[in-house]
Amino acid sequence: MALTDLLVHLDHHAGSVARLEVAVAMAKRHGARLTGLLVIRHHYPPTAGVAEVQALFERLVEGAGIEGRWLCVDGSALGIGMSELVIGHAQCSDLVIIGQGSMASAGLGVPFDLPKRVILGAGRPVLIVPFVGVFATVGERVLVAWKPGPEAARAVNDALPFLARAQRVELLARHRPETVGRPDGPCADLAAHLARHGVTARVQTLNRADTPMGDALLNRVCDEGFDLLVVGALAHGPEGKRALGSVVRHLLRQMTVPVLMSH
């Protein structure tokens, strides 16, 4: 799947600028159109604040030479919450880019659990950008967390446009008894599948069970300088009351690089 239509959710938190820069660079790299979405409620932020965000969006889009579309939607006038508006627009995009939840952004009207809601409701891959940091590159060095299952399989498939352009791809999985004796352990079949797509992936296996998977992933990202983490967003619970798994919740709290999640 090619990335031709990207959506970035913008707000007035300081981290929104870095998120927009990531989105613009990604749209340019993939030759995609970028839609900037700002949701207001009861005229907050005020008109001047809206104009400021729009001007930044249009300036960066023009500077990158990409196609852009600006959307400012009044959720209060429509009677629709921010999460539902983002989800609705995300469903007509190839990828949605949003910010990590924080108390600072929540104080500006952005739901703290916006990432969770969009991941579970959009039906599209979601790129979550940390609320702190500047990310000069995203997708040049990619770490893929692999655990056999539909969520991880979909995440890898959704990440193919990134993996095909990456300088380095690594697959990381827990040791599984049924893969003993296989040269690439639990990732052997996945590595072979990616090779069919022209992606050369290095395989690493975690043999220690006493390190939580979330910590192991973040440690690997830090130690090896990865700039993108790909994870399947495992969720539990009956329909309508689903909760993300412990690894995903940990990453949403502690992420240090952008994370691509699919559910």
Query: For residue 60, what pLDDT is reported?
Result: 98
Q: How many residues does the chain have?
A: 263
User: What is the DSSP secondary structure assignment for residue 217, as one 8-state letter?
Assistant: H
Domains and CATH numbers, the chain: 5-129 (3.40.50.620), 141-262 (3.40.50.620)
Query: Mean pLDDT, consecutive 10-residue segments, the chain of 263 residues?
Result: 94 93 97 96 76 96 98 86 95 97 89 95 96 95 94 96 97 70 73 96 83 92 97 76 85 97 94
Query: For residue 177, what pLDDT is reported?
Result: 54
Query: For residue 173, what pLDDT is reported?
Result: 92
Query: For residue 170, what pLDDT is reported?
Result: 97
Query: For residue 234, what pLDDT is reported?
Result: 80
Query: For residue 241, what pLDDT is reported?
Result: 66
- For residue 161, the number of C-alpha atoms closer than 13 Å in the C-beta half-sphere is 18
**Cα distance between residue 189 and residue 127, in whole Å:** 26
The amino acid at residue 251 is L
First to last CA, the chain: 17
Query: For residue 106, what pLDDT is reported?
Result: 87
Query: For residue 243, what pLDDT is reported?
Result: 77
Q: At what angle do helices 246-254 and 114-121 cross, to 10 degrees?
A: 130
Query: For residue 107, what pLDDT is reported?
Result: 84
pTM given for the model: 0.93
Query: For residue 212, what pLDDT is reported?
Result: 87
